[in-house]
Amino acid sequence: MNRFHTLFRDPDARAFIPFFTLGDPDWETSLRIIDSAVQAGADALELGFPFADPISDGPTNQKSMARALRAGSTFDSCTLLVAEVRNRFPELPISLLLYYNLLFCQEREGYRKLAEAGVDAIVISDLPMEESAYHVDCLKSNGLGCVHMVAPNTPRDRARTLFDESDAFTYVISRFGTTGADSRLSDATIEHVTRLRAVTEKPYAVGFGISHPDFVRQIWDTGANGVIVGSHFSSMIEHNPDAPEVAIEGICAFIAEVKSHSEARPVTL
Amino acid sequence: MTTASWERTFGELCYGGSYVPESLVHVLDEVQKAFLTAIDDPAFVSRLDKLHREFGGRETPTIRADNLSERWGTGLFLKREDLVHGGAHKLNSTIGQILLAEYMGKTRIISETGAGQHGVATAMTAAKFGLPTDVYMGVVDIERQHSNVRRMQLHGARVIPVSTGRGTLKDAINEAMRDWITNVGESYHCFGTAAGPFPYPSLVKHFQRVIGDEARRQMLEGHGALPTDVIACIGGGSNAIGTYTAFLDDPDVRLWAAEPAGTGLDGTNHAAALTRGSVGVFHGMKSLWLQNEDGQIAPTHSIAAGLDYPGVGPELVELMERGRLGVITVTDSEAVEAFEVLSQAEGIIPAFESAHALAATWKLAKEDRDRTMLMCLSGRGDKDLESYWKLSEGNDE
């Protein structure tokens, strides 16, 4: 059974899902960061394989991926890192985020390796539904969950299909643009995310631009089942090149604060 | 009935396609629908035709290169796209695309450029249409094509330097795509070559096929026969597919691609995607890419900034794999030699890109003299003079 199904069994679940680039800033430190984030209360993980030309990513995650690649990250080293995380946290839902070429080049064998490492689900940032037949087939034959993305300009009917075709959960992109921490949460984002709750009862997680514990709470309050924060953490890693423990402390404090909100449902009058 | 030859994918391996983030799916759909409507709209077609004639200076001649023909003992004809306004074939596409952008009600143009020729063509066309334009350009290309940067700025475009990666065309396309993902509503991405996600390979081909359509007719009228060989240089491949398309149904006409071998095919100092690439998915399409075994796109090099790209348009891959298109690799130094040869023998300075095509043509002439060769002279070389002089000074020391 896919671990995300367990996580989202409760339709009122408020999951917090941090994103980390695997191997940033290096294999060992990356493991420490991920380990600490889970200890601090992360409900699931979204882990990215570094790609040198990430067109959906803003400068922060571009730099994060560049650091990981400079430190020698490869498909196999990232898979090994995932396997180690799985080894430490047998029940934790783990999803991967990749650019398609990284998986396409591995062919079917790559999917088998990821399943063996303990991955639950995979989202591809540059693979729309129309091109995904082979990918979906490989996921299914390896028992991996399929996560489609829904964008602000995805028409309602198409969104419904994407929700229906997703297994595990659906990744809702909060706004137009690349990944990156925003200083505020726009009204358009709140409206877009709120509207989707009426489209599906299936679980979805919202990502892109979310950088403050209050934003996480506001997104949860719209009825979203999960919130993903990535660039904000990559930026902490970037700004503490010689002191990863400072980044870890910041990440854990963020997660602890977020989790203190997660129990409280919004009061409806 | 539609007038476009319109394919989402090419060949059994389905090269091409549309591998883009979800935010762009709807946008590309919109471009495709608008394009199919526009090209059957008489008002659009007649404006396009007028722009080609009055703004672009079409049609361009196909001339016999008498001196080289005599020297090589073969027939050599040049399709003079260097005479298009702006100095390269790129304007054929930017006129069509920006007219389409206006047709769609878009108010801003995004573009990227390698050699600067597509950027210049975009900037001058957008100036005519009064549309603000941002052109992304790698810092290495800005350095080696500085005069084109100034030309774009003179036309009112903003040139945005891109310092990621190797600071060349691939990196500029990455940034242009990021911009488009961010500003999907009002912006039109004026893509530089017959590559990228569907519908761009077909759309750009449609606007570039005027090269081959004219040249085929000009060969029949002026020379009384079709060429035996048609040669074009390949970066992404827009001048190539634009030249070849008219000849695809002429089985006796052999098609040749001149690919940039840089300083040699060993290592990463080349950009020969057809020769050395492997199947991958990047920049919205399945095609051949120069990449490592992990699927990371490789750094590339060519002296010709317009050819310095790790991939190639999907239709060209399919043509090569079914044996319709032959590939000849040309090194930097062979291209520079051809650059000098054309300048001296015919009084025409070719772009470094087009010099690759001439070097390949030269190789064919050495192989077999009994040919009538038509080469697409895709652009003029003024933009490369600074680099050429630097090279010659370096060689003199």
Model pLDDT for residues B158-178, shown as the tens digit of each residue:
999 999 888 889 999 999 999
Token duo for residue B145:
């094509």
Residue of B18, B59, B81, B90 marked active site: B90
pLDDT of amino acid B115:
83
A111 closest CA partner among A149, A75, A85: A75
Report CB contact under 8 Å: B18, A128.
Answer: yes
Which residue on chain A is closest to B163 by alpha carbon?
A: A59
Does pLDDT of B1 surpass 50?
no
State how far the alpha carbon of A39 is from the alpha carbons of A34, A198, B341, in Å. 9, 34, 69
Does residue B286 share a domain with residue B188? no
Q: Is residue B168 part of a domain?
A: yes
Token duo for residue A257:
């604060």
Say what the ipTM of the complex is.
0.95
Q: Is residue B12 part of a domain?
A: no
Which residue on chain A is closest to B278 by alpha carbon?
A: A105
Residue B245 DSSP symbol: G
* Average pLDDT of chain B, as a whole number: 95
User: Out of A56, A106, A131, whose CB is closest to B181?
Assistant: A56
pLDDT of amino acid A268:
46
Residue type, B309: Y
Q: Is residue B152 part of a domain?
A: yes
Cα–chain center distance at A154: 20
CATH number, domain with residue A38: 3.20.20.70
Cα–chain center distance at B125: 17
| Residue A97 to residue A83: CA distance in whole angstroms | 15
| Residue B30 to residue B26: CA distance in whole angstroms | 6
Residue type, A8: F
Residue B156 near residue B127 (C-beta atoms within 8 A): yes
| Residue B221 to residue A175: CA distance in whole angstroms | 56
Task: Please check whether residue B295 touches A, CB under 8 A.
Answer: yes
Our CA-based measurement puts residue A167 at a distance from the nearest CA of chain B, in whole angstroms, of 17
CB interface of B with A, residues 212-251, below 8 Å = none
Report CB contact under 8 Å: B181, A177.
Answer: yes
Does residue B314 share a domain with residue B252? yes
pLDDT of amino acid B157:
98
Report CB contact under 8 Å: A55, B181.
Answer: yes
| Residue A134 to residue A139: CA distance in whole angstroms | 9
Residue A93 near residue A43 (C-beta atoms within 8 A): yes
What's the domain count of chain B?
A: 2
| Residue A52 to residue A69: CA distance in whole angstroms | 8
**Domain endpoint, select from B173, B204, B235:** B204
Q: Is residue A223 part of a domain?
A: yes
In the block, residue with structure tokens 């394009």 = B35
Does residue B234 share a domain with residue B145? no
Q: Is residue B185 part of a domain?
A: yes
Does residue B220 share a domain with residue B153? no
Task: Please check whether residue B385 touches A, CB under 8 A.
Answer: no
Token duo for residue B334:
């062979």
Tens of pLDDT, residue by residue, chain A (269 residues):
799 999 999 989 999 999 999 999 999 999 999 999 999 999 999 999 999 999 999 999 999 999 999 999 999 999 999 999 999 999 999 999 999 999 999 999 999 999 999 999 999 999 999 999 999 999 999 999 999 999 999 999 999 999 999 999 999 999 999 999 999 999 999 999 999 999 999 999 999 999 999 999 999 999 999 999 999 999 999 999 999 999 999 999 999 999 998 775 544 44
Chain B neighbors of A156, CB-CB under 8 A: none
User: Which of A49, A131, A156 to mutate: most B Cβ within 10 Å?
Assistant: A131
Residue of B112, B259, B346, B353 marked active site: B112
Residue of A10, A28, A43, A46 marked active site: A46
User: Out of A53, A105, A126, whose CB is closest to B165?
Assistant: A53
Q: Is residue A267 part of a domain?
A: no
Which residue on chain A is closest to B197 by alpha carbon?
A: A126
pLDDT of amino acid B165:
84
User: Out of B174, B181, B295, whose CB is closest to A176?
Assistant: B181
Report CB contact under 8 Å: A151, B284.
Answer: no
pLDDT of amino acid B342:
98
Please name every residue paired with A145 in a beta bridge, in sequence order, or none if there are none.
A121
Report CB contact under 8 Å: A151, B294.
Answer: no
Residue of A43, A57, A182, A238 marked active site: A57
CB interface of B with A, residues 140-169, below 8 Å = 164-165
pLDDT of amino acid A269:
43
Report CB contact under 8 Å: B295, A173.
Answer: no
Residue B389 belongs to what H/E stretch?
helix B385-396
B135 closest CA partner among B313, B147, B148: B148
Q: Is residue B4 part of a domain?
A: no
Report CB contact under 8 Å: B280, A105.
Answer: yes
Report CB contact under 8 Å: B178, A125.
Answer: no
Does pLDDT of B220 surpass 80?
yes
Q: CA angle, corner B241, sides to B341 and B143, nearest 5?
A: 55
How would you classify the pairing of strands B187-190 and B108-113? parallel
**Domain endpoint, select from B204, B239, B264:** B204
Phi, psi at A2, each rounded to 5° = -65, 130
Domain of residue A81, residue span: 13-262
Q: Which value, to the nearest 10 degrees, does the dihedral of the CA atoms of residues A119, A125, A129, A135 take?
A: -40
Does residue B143 share a domain with residue B75? no
Does residue B320 share a domain with residue B248? yes
pLDDT of amino acid B4:
57
CA atoms within 13 A on the CB side of B288: 20
Residue B320 near residue B274 (C-beta atoms within 8 A): yes
| Residue B296 to residue B294: CA distance in whole angstroms | 6
Cβ neighbours of residue B272 closer than 8 Å, sequence gap 6 or more: B259, B260, B261, B262, B265, B290, B329
Domain of residue B247, residue span: 60-87+209-396
Chain B neighbors of A154, CB-CB under 8 A: 22, 25-26
Does residue B248 share a domain with residue B292? yes
Does residue B357 share a domain with residue B284? yes
Q: Is residue B294 part of a domain?
A: yes
Report CB contact under 8 Å: A177, B182.
Answer: yes
Residue B176 near residue B189 (C-beta atoms within 8 A): yes
Does pLDDT of B149 surpass 70?
yes
Q: Is residue A200 part of a domain?
A: yes
pLDDT of amino acid B166:
83
How would you classify the pairing of strands B284-289 and B15-19? antiparallel
**Domain endpoint, select from B188, B204, B220:** B204
CATH number, domain with residue B253: 3.40.50.1100
Strands laid side by side in the A145-147 sheet: A145-147, A121-124, A94-98, A45-48, A15-21, A226-229, A204-207, A170-173, A149-150
Q: Is residue A268 part of a domain?
A: no
User: Out of B22, B26, B280, whose CB is closest to A101?
Assistant: B280
A93 closest CA partner among A226, A19, A224, A4: A4
Q: Is residue A134 part of a domain?
A: yes
Does residue B68 share a domain with residue B104? no
Does residue B246 share a domain with residue B120? no
Our CA-based measurement puts residue B157 at a distance from the nearest CA of chain A, in whole angstroms, of 22
Residue ranges of alpha helices (H) inside A89-155 are 100-104, 107-117, 133-141
pLDDT bin (cut points 50, 70, 90) of residue B7 is confident
Q: Is residue A3 part of a domain?
A: no
User: Out of A62, A103, A155, whose CB is closest to B164?
Assistant: A62
What's the domain count of chain A?
A: 1
Our CA-based measurement puts residue B251 at a distance from the nearest CA of chain A, in whole angstroms, of 33
Does residue B276 share a domain with residue B155? no
Does pLDDT of B396 surpass 70?
no
Q: Is residue A195 part of a domain?
A: yes
pLDDT tens column, B262-305 = 999 988 899 999 999 999 999 999 999 999 999 999 999 999 99
Which residue on chain B is closest to A148 by alpha carbon?
A: B22
User: Out of B22, B170, B280, whose CB is closest to A128?
Assistant: B22
Our CA-based measurement puts residue A106 at a distance from the nearest CA of chain B, in whole angstroms, of 7
Does residue B340 share a domain with residue B291? yes
Our CA-based measurement puts residue A58 at a distance from the nearest CA of chain B, in whole angstroms, of 8
At CB < 8 Å, which residues of chain A contact B?
A: 51-53, 55-56, 58, 62, 69, 74-75, 100-106, 125-128, 130-131, 148-155, 158, 162, 173, 176-178
User: Is B112 designated active site?
Assistant: yes
Our CA-based measurement puts residue A220 at a distance from the nearest CA of chain B, in whole angstroms, of 22
Cβ neighbours of residue A111 closer than 8 Å, sequence gap 6 or more: A103, A138, A139, A141, A142, A144
Report CB contact under 8 Å: B18, A75.
Answer: no
**Mean pLDDT to the nearest integer, B200-227:** 97
Size of interface A-B (CB pairs under 8 A): 101
Residue A148 near residue A176 (C-beta atoms within 8 A): no
Token duo for residue B360:
């390949």
Q: Is residue A4 part of a domain?
A: no
pLDDT tens column, B44-85 = 999 999 999 999 999 999 999 999 999 999 999 999 999 999
Q: Please give the residue that has the higher pLDDT: either B373 or A13.
A: B373
User: Is B90 designated active site?
Assistant: yes
